[in-house]
Amino acid sequence: MSALDGLAGQFLDLHVRDRPLLQPNAWDAGSARLLASLGFEALATTSSGFAATLGRNDGNVTRDEALNHARDIARSVDVPVAADTENGFADDPEGVAEMVTLACATGLAGCSIEDFTGRADDPIYDLGLSAERIAAAAEAAHAGPRQLVLTARAENLIHGVDDLADTIARLQAYQAAGADVLFAPGLTTLADIRSVVTSVDRPVNVLVAPGRPSVAELAAAGVARISVGGAFAFAAYAALVEAATELRDRGSYDSLDRVGSARAAIRDAFSAPPPA
């Protein structure tokens, strides 16, 4: 496991088994500042949440848009930020390394590379190529004066390949390739999560959702980081749909009552001076 300097080292030090880092995903500078003001020690971006701010579905953001977005989020708060950089916006290891090198210059503390191709007919990269892509990403993330914590993502469970053994084999290969943190979205049971955690020697991130194990249960299972993906962004959009539908169909505004309880926290978050 690489010894990282600066912000990346500080971020990696927050990953402790049995005491998971709660790392919610922000979708714009305002949500990032609000989450940081609520006391979270680190944040992540969300590709789906960011795409939604542009009126697009996930997977329809360009590399430059993703980098500029990550830069904006990182500059808006004084806690470490890790970016969802999808599959590196490239199939080949060289293209992935280029993406990570560019990400190093944005002020981020970390980024992630997934093994999802983006193609419905062939959704997951071959394991050999996947490992080469992570190796190239790790070299780029760790080589320069501004380093990044690299999270390697095994995406098969959320793309039609319900194979825990393959997931574990992929995470083990990504660990060997130099990843700092391992992540398999789609893990839902404590038994499967424990199997992953005990099969690797890197911090494991788990994506949470309703009906999945609690923070305390995940801590007991040895999880080192917890994220929410685009869930917080879409919770905000859901509140918008609810309020707008009430206004349109009922001519009332009762769902806006909840705004009052949060207004002070929002005002305080936005009144604080931005990071230097």
pLDDT value at 2 more than 70: no
Q: Is 270 within a domain?
A: no
- For the sheet with 43-45, list strands across it: 21-22, 225-227, 204-207, 181-183, 149-153, 110-114, 81-84, 43-45, 25-26
Residues 230 and 207: their CA atoms lie apart, in Å, by 10
Q: What is the DSSP letter of 116?
A: B
Q: Is 262 within a domain?
A: no
Average pLDDT over the chain, rounded to whole? 96
Q: Is 38 within a domain?
A: yes
Q: Is 246 within a domain?
A: no
Domain that holds residue 95: 6-231
Q: What is the pTM of this model?
A: 0.96
The CATH number of whichever domain residue 36 belongs to comes to 3.20.20.60
Q: pLDDT tens across 155-172, in order?
A: 999 999 999 999 999 999
Structural domains of the chain, count = 1
How far lies 125's CA from each of 3, 24, 62, 67, 113, in Å?
28, 28, 20, 23, 12
Q: Is 242 within a domain?
A: no
Backbone angles phi, psi at 167, to 5 degrees: -60, -50
Q: Is 253 within a domain?
A: no
Q: pLDDT tens across 46-97, in order?
A: 999 999 999 999 999 999 999 999 999 999 999 999 999 999 999 999 999 9
Q: Is 199 within a domain?
A: yes
Residues 235 and 179: their CA atoms lie apart, in Å, by 31
Share of the chain above pLDDT 70, in %: 99
User: 5: which 2 tokens?
Assistant: 């300097």
Q: Is 221 within a domain?
A: yes
pLDDT at 209: 95
